[in-house]
Structure 1
Amino acid sequence: MAASVHPAQPPGAQGLSRSDARRNRQRLLDAAALAFNAEGAGASLDDIARAAGVGNATLYRHFPTRQVLITAVYDDRFRGLCAAAEEFRTTRPALEALTTWLRLVIDHITGNCGLRDAFIAAHRIDADEQTPELVEWHHLIHATAQPLLGDAQSAGHIRPDLAADELLALTTAVARAYNGEPPRADRLLSLILEGIQR
């Protein structure tokens, strides 16, 4: 019996397919972030797929449920913060890297209120309740803040007795106090940063 013969794939076709899948996934995450922040957990998945330029089948292949999609979007936002920190550490002076990242943290908190509410609704939890994902993300942000703060302290810019969790608590308080008022939040953060510098 003759062996089955499968048509050979063009060189790189499999790689292109994976690359297309990654691009489609990121487009869906970006479109979903906008939708959930604007409309909450009930945002139309059909509209999200349309905004991402893909079909519904592609959306469900990547994200089989609404909860999975919302969680993936929130995870993407947190990991984007961490990636930015790594870039800042290698491309900017220590104090600038820290302060620029803290401003991103404030933007993340104030700019993703709808997404956070969507996450809470999708997981059916109270606003102050923790899920394993939230616990992991908080640990991730703390682990990201620590080396940025350490660099600035080692360079003599920031008082050495300040801990990363204290700095993040101050930054979070600024974001929540002036949510929707970026200029005032930025001013308060600047005052805090002046107070912790040596």
Structure 2
Amino acid sequence: MTGNDGDTARSRRPLRADAQRNEDRLLEAAAAAFAREGAGASVKDIARAAGVGVGTLYRRFPSKELLVAAIYRLEVQRLCEAAPHLAATQPPVDALRTWMERFIDFMAAKQGMADALRVVLTDDSEKLQTRAMLADAIDHLLTPATGPSVARPEVKAHDVLMALGGISLMAGNENQRDLATRLIDLLLHGIVKN
């Protein structure tokens, strides 16, 4: 059984409540550590920050790569789950803008994990699944459940996702978060119906 298969099998079994709390704390501590220190973040420091022993970390995540993959999947899931909430609580254009800003922040946090993610995300099917999930979230924001679409008819969710990816690369390389916001404004101008 490969590490990915084992990770998948483990994710199907529900964890006890205390084990789930430990895992949640580990993922939060690891995400913060990787964003701050990159892939070289210490697993001992991550375990300490989560309030668990290193053995607990390694029982759940036998390698740093599996920990990185779990963080990535959790954060993609959270980002995608935010779309319906934003659509229900904000005007359509504001919801789309807020989600785009969150996407850029998500990508910026991944800069510290880039090397580890390249190793972890070698499976093309996982990359395609992630893109599909993110595009579905964008589509949810472009065509709200109530009311008309906010986007021009020719706008496709995958195109918006690719544009956001480009913005995140440019802003990340320049290390300028304000540049990303200005580019999001330009992108929204091209997306939203007048």
TM-score interval for Structure 1 and Structure 2 normalised by the shorter chain: 0.7 to 0.9
Contiguous gaps of at least 5 residues in structure 2: 1-14
2:188 maps to which of 177, 187, 193: 193
Q: Which residue of 2 aligns with 1:8?
A: none
Cα RMSD (Å): 2.2
In 2, distance between residues paired with 1:86 and 1:97?
A: 9
Q: Percent identity?
A: 38
In 2, distance between residues paired with 1:156 and 1:50?
A: 47
TM-score, structure 1 as length reference: 0.80
1:50-69 alignment runs, 5 A limit: 50-69=48-67
Which sits farther off after the overlay, 82-91 or 131-140?
131-140
1:67-86 alignment runs, 5 A limit: 67-86=65-84
Question: Is 1:170 matched with 2:173?
Answer: no
Using the TM superposition, give the Cα deviation of residue 154 of structure 1 relative to its aligned residue in structure 2, in angstroms.
5.4
In 1, distance between residues paired with 2:140 and 2:126?
A: 22
User: CA 1:70 to 1:153, structure 2 compared with 1: closer, same or farther past 3 Å?
Assistant: same
Using the TM superposition, give the Cα deviation of residue 153 of structure 1 relative to its aligned residue in structure 2, in angstroms.
11
Q: Is the 8 A contact 2:143 2:149 kept in 1?
A: no
Q: Give the match's secondary structure for 2:16.
A: helix
User: CA 1:96 to 1:152, structure 2 compared with 1: closer, same or farther past 3 Å?
Assistant: farther
Count of aligned pairs? 177
In 2, distance between residues paired with 1:101 and 1:152?
A: 16
4+ runs deviating over 6 angstroms: none
Q: Which residue of 2 aligns with 1:159?
A: 152
User: CA 1:156 to 1:66, structure 2 compared with 1: closer, same or farther past 3 Å?
Assistant: closer
Using the TM superposition, give the Cα deviation of residue 131 of structure 1 relative to its aligned residue in structure 2, in angstroms.
3.8
Question: Is 1:104 matched with 2:99?
Answer: no
